[in-house]
Protein backbone atom coordinates (compact mmCIF):
# COMPACT_ATOMS: atom_id res chain seq x y z
CA UNK A 1 0.00 0.00 0.00
CA UNK A 2 1.02 3.61 -0.32
CA UNK A 3 2.89 5.12 2.56
CA UNK A 4 2.71 8.65 3.88
CA UNK A 5 5.94 10.24 2.80
CA UNK A 6 7.65 13.54 3.20
CA UNK A 7 8.14 14.62 -0.38
CA UNK A 8 10.81 17.16 0.54
CA UNK A 9 12.99 14.61 2.32
CA UNK A 10 12.46 11.64 0.04
CA UNK A 11 15.17 10.79 -2.47
CA UNK A 12 13.90 8.96 -5.51
CA UNK A 13 15.92 7.21 -8.19
CA UNK A 14 14.71 6.80 -11.71
CA UNK A 15 13.55 3.26 -12.35
CA UNK A 16 14.84 2.18 -15.80
CA UNK A 17 11.91 -0.22 -16.24
CA UNK A 18 9.40 2.63 -15.96
CA UNK A 19 9.28 5.45 -18.50
CA UNK A 20 8.49 8.16 -15.94
CA UNK A 21 10.28 8.71 -12.66
CA UNK A 22 8.29 9.26 -9.51
CA UNK A 23 9.27 12.94 -9.51
CA UNK A 24 7.91 13.38 -13.05
CA UNK A 25 4.66 11.62 -12.11
CA UNK A 26 4.33 13.80 -9.01
CA UNK A 27 4.96 16.97 -11.00
CA UNK A 28 2.32 15.93 -13.55
CA UNK A 29 -0.13 15.19 -10.74
CA UNK A 30 0.38 18.65 -9.24
CA UNK A 31 -0.02 20.33 -12.63
CA UNK A 32 -3.18 18.32 -13.37
CA UNK A 33 -4.58 19.17 -9.93
CA UNK A 34 -4.04 22.89 -10.56
CA UNK A 35 -5.58 22.71 -14.05
CA UNK A 36 -8.64 20.80 -12.88
CA UNK A 37 -11.72 22.85 -13.73
CA UNK A 38 -14.54 23.31 -11.30
CA UNK A 39 -17.46 21.59 -13.01
CA UNK A 40 -20.01 21.76 -10.22
CA UNK A 41 -22.05 24.70 -11.49
CA UNK A 42 -21.79 24.25 -15.22
CA UNK A 43 -22.30 21.63 -17.87
CA UNK A 44 -19.49 21.25 -20.32
CA UNK A 45 -19.09 19.02 -23.36
CA UNK A 46 -15.58 17.64 -23.56
CA UNK A 47 -13.72 15.36 -25.92
CA UNK A 48 -11.93 12.15 -24.93
CA UNK A 49 -8.53 13.84 -24.37
CA UNK A 50 -9.99 16.52 -22.11
CA UNK A 51 -12.06 13.93 -20.24
CA UNK A 52 -8.93 11.83 -19.71
CA UNK A 53 -7.12 14.86 -18.26
CA UNK A 54 -10.07 15.61 -15.98
CA UNK A 55 -10.02 12.04 -14.63
CA UNK A 56 -6.23 12.14 -14.24
CA UNK A 57 -6.50 15.45 -12.39
CA UNK A 58 -9.24 14.27 -10.05
CA UNK A 59 -7.49 10.97 -9.30
CA UNK A 60 -4.18 12.77 -8.72
CA UNK A 61 -5.90 15.27 -6.44
CA UNK A 62 -7.36 12.45 -4.31
CA UNK A 63 -3.99 10.65 -4.15
CA UNK A 64 -2.22 13.83 -3.05
CA UNK A 65 -4.98 14.76 -0.59
CA UNK A 66 -4.76 11.35 1.09
CA UNK A 67 -0.92 11.55 1.08
CA UNK A 68 -0.61 8.24 -0.73
CA UNK A 69 2.02 9.43 -3.20
CA UNK A 70 3.72 6.49 -4.86
CA UNK A 71 4.93 5.72 -8.35
CA UNK A 72 2.76 2.62 -8.71
CA UNK A 73 -0.37 4.45 -7.58
CA UNK A 74 0.14 7.34 -10.03
CA UNK A 75 0.71 4.85 -12.88
CA UNK A 76 -2.49 3.02 -11.88
CA UNK A 77 -4.31 6.38 -11.84
CA UNK A 78 -3.18 7.07 -15.41
CA UNK A 79 -4.22 3.57 -16.46
CA UNK A 80 -7.67 3.96 -14.87
CA UNK A 81 -8.14 7.37 -16.54
CA UNK A 82 -7.48 5.73 -19.91
CA UNK A 83 -9.77 2.83 -19.02
CA UNK A 84 -12.64 5.14 -18.10
CA UNK A 85 -12.29 7.06 -21.38
CA UNK A 86 -11.81 4.07 -23.68
CA UNK A 87 -14.36 1.65 -22.22
CA UNK A 88 -17.57 2.56 -24.01
CA UNK A 89 -19.46 -0.68 -24.34
CA UNK A 90 -17.77 -3.95 -23.42
CA UNK A 91 -18.53 -6.99 -25.54
CA UNK A 92 -19.64 -8.73 -22.35
CA UNK A 93 -20.14 -8.01 -18.65
CA UNK A 94 -19.59 -11.69 -17.87
CA UNK A 95 -15.98 -12.16 -16.77
CA UNK A 96 -15.85 -15.87 -17.62
CA UNK A 97 -16.18 -14.94 -21.31
CA UNK A 98 -12.82 -13.14 -21.11
CA UNK A 99 -11.21 -15.96 -19.13
CA UNK A 100 -12.22 -18.50 -21.78
CA UNK A 101 -11.00 -16.21 -24.56
CA UNK A 102 -7.63 -15.80 -22.80
CA UNK A 103 -6.53 -19.24 -24.00
CA UNK A 104 -6.25 -17.74 -27.49
CA UNK A 105 -5.50 -14.13 -26.55
CA UNK A 106 -3.76 -13.20 -23.25
CA UNK A 107 -4.96 -9.58 -23.49
CA UNK A 108 -8.43 -10.91 -22.74
CA UNK A 109 -7.20 -11.34 -19.16
CA UNK A 110 -6.73 -7.58 -18.95
CA UNK A 111 -10.19 -6.97 -20.43
CA UNK A 112 -11.75 -9.33 -17.88
CA UNK A 113 -9.81 -7.62 -15.09
CA UNK A 114 -11.01 -4.25 -16.38
CA UNK A 115 -14.64 -5.44 -16.19
CA UNK A 116 -14.06 -6.64 -12.62
CA UNK A 117 -12.46 -3.29 -11.79
CA UNK A 118 -15.38 -1.31 -13.22
CA UNK A 119 -17.87 -3.43 -11.28
CA UNK A 120 -15.80 -3.14 -8.08
CA UNK A 121 -15.35 0.61 -8.30
CA UNK A 122 -18.24 2.20 -10.21
CA UNK A 123 -20.99 -0.29 -11.06
CA UNK A 124 -21.38 -2.04 -7.71
CA UNK A 125 -25.03 -2.80 -8.47
CA UNK A 126 -23.89 -5.23 -11.19
CA UNK A 127 -21.76 -7.04 -8.61
CA UNK A 128 -24.71 -8.79 -7.02
CA UNK A 129 -25.89 -10.60 -10.13
CA UNK A 130 -25.63 -14.32 -10.76
CA UNK A 131 -24.73 -15.51 -7.26
CA UNK A 132 -21.73 -13.16 -7.15
CA UNK A 133 -20.80 -10.35 -4.81
CA UNK A 134 -18.32 -7.48 -4.85
CA UNK A 135 -15.66 -9.48 -2.98
CA UNK A 136 -15.75 -12.10 -5.76
CA UNK A 137 -15.15 -9.40 -8.36
CA UNK A 138 -12.34 -7.90 -6.26
CA UNK A 139 -10.60 -11.28 -6.00
CA UNK A 140 -11.11 -12.09 -9.68
CA UNK A 141 -9.87 -8.65 -10.76
CA UNK A 142 -6.71 -8.89 -8.65
CA UNK A 143 -6.00 -12.40 -9.92
CA UNK A 144 -6.71 -11.55 -13.56
CA UNK A 145 -4.44 -8.50 -13.50
CA UNK A 146 -1.68 -10.58 -11.93
CA UNK A 147 -2.20 -13.41 -14.44
CA UNK A 148 -2.11 -10.82 -17.25
CA UNK A 149 1.25 -9.67 -15.85
CA UNK A 150 2.67 -13.20 -15.67
CA UNK A 151 1.50 -14.06 -19.21
CA UNK A 152 2.58 -10.84 -20.94
CA UNK A 153 5.19 -9.25 -18.65
CA UNK A 154 3.35 -5.90 -18.76
CA UNK A 155 4.02 -4.21 -15.44
CA UNK A 156 0.70 -2.39 -15.25
CA UNK A 157 -0.90 -5.77 -14.56
CA UNK A 158 1.36 -6.19 -11.53
CA UNK A 159 0.74 -2.64 -10.29
CA UNK A 160 -3.03 -2.92 -10.71
CA UNK A 161 -3.07 -6.27 -8.88
CA UNK A 162 -1.16 -4.81 -5.93
CA UNK A 163 -3.06 -1.49 -5.76
CA UNK A 164 -6.47 -2.84 -6.85
CA UNK A 165 -8.57 -2.12 -3.75
CA UNK A 166 -7.01 1.28 -3.12
CA UNK A 167 -7.30 2.49 -6.71
CA UNK A 168 -10.89 1.16 -6.87
CA UNK A 169 -11.75 3.24 -3.80
CA UNK A 170 -10.04 6.31 -5.30
CA UNK A 171 -11.82 5.78 -8.63
CA UNK A 172 -15.19 5.53 -6.91
CA UNK A 173 -14.50 8.76 -5.02
CA UNK A 174 -13.34 10.45 -8.23
CA UNK A 175 -16.26 9.27 -10.33
CA UNK A 176 -18.94 10.22 -7.83
CA UNK A 177 -17.43 13.63 -7.03
CA UNK A 178 -18.76 15.18 -10.25
DSSP string, 18-38: SSS-HHHHHHHHHHHHHH---
pLDDT of residue 32: 67
Percent of the chain beyond pLDDT 90? 35
Question: Could you tell me if residue 7 is inside a domain?
Answer: no
What residue numbers bound the domain in which 104 lies? 95-175
pLDDT over 80 (residue 173): yes
Q: Concatenated DSSP letters for 93-141?
A: S-HHHHHHHTTT-THHHHHHHHHHHHHHHT-GGGGGSTT--HHHHHHHH
Instruction: Indicate whether 32 and 56 sit together in one domain.
Output: yes
- pLDDT of 171: 93
Of 68, 60, 67, the residue nearest 25 (C-alpha): 60
Residue 76 has pLDDT above 80, yes or no: yes
Residue 61 lies in a domain: yes
- Cα–Cα distance for residue pair 5/173, rounded to 1 Å: 22
Look at residue 136 and tell me if it is in a domain.
Answer: yes
Residues 31 and 71 in one domain: yes
Q: How far apart are CA 170 and CA 167, in angstroms?
A: 5
Residue 1 pLDDT greater than 60, yes or no? no
Average pLDDT, rounded, for the chain: 80
Crossing angle of helices 48-65 and 71-86, in 10° steps, is 150
If asked whether residues 112 and 171 sit together in one domain, one would say: yes
User: How much is the pTM?
Assistant: 0.75
Q: Inform me whether the pLDDT recorded for 18 exceeds 70.
A: no
**Same domain, residue pair 79 and 124:** no
Give yes or no: residues 112 and 170 share one domain.
Answer: yes
Considering the domain architecture, whether residues 102 and 165 belong to the same structural domain is answered as: yes
Least-confidence region, from 39-43, 125-129, 141-145, 171-175: 39-43
pLDDT value at 27 more than 80: no
- Work out how many domains the chain is built from and give that number: 2
- Mean of the pLDDT values across residues 64-92? 86
* pLDDT > 70: percent of the chain: 79
Same domain assignment for residues 139 and 171: yes
Q: Are 170 and 120 found together in one domain?
A: yes
52 and 124 in one domain?
A: no
Same domain, 135 and 66: no
Shared domain for 149 and 130, answered yes or no, is yes
Going by pLDDT thresholds of 50, 70 and 90, the confidence category of residue 109 is: very high
Residues 79 and 151 placed together within one structural domain of the fold? no
What average pLDDT score do residues 15-39 get?
Answer: 64
Amino acid sequence: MGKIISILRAKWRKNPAVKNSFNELLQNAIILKKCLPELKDKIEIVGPQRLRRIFEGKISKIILKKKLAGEELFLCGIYVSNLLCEMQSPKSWIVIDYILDAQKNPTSLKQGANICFLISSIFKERGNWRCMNIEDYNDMGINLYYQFYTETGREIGYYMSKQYNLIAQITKECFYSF
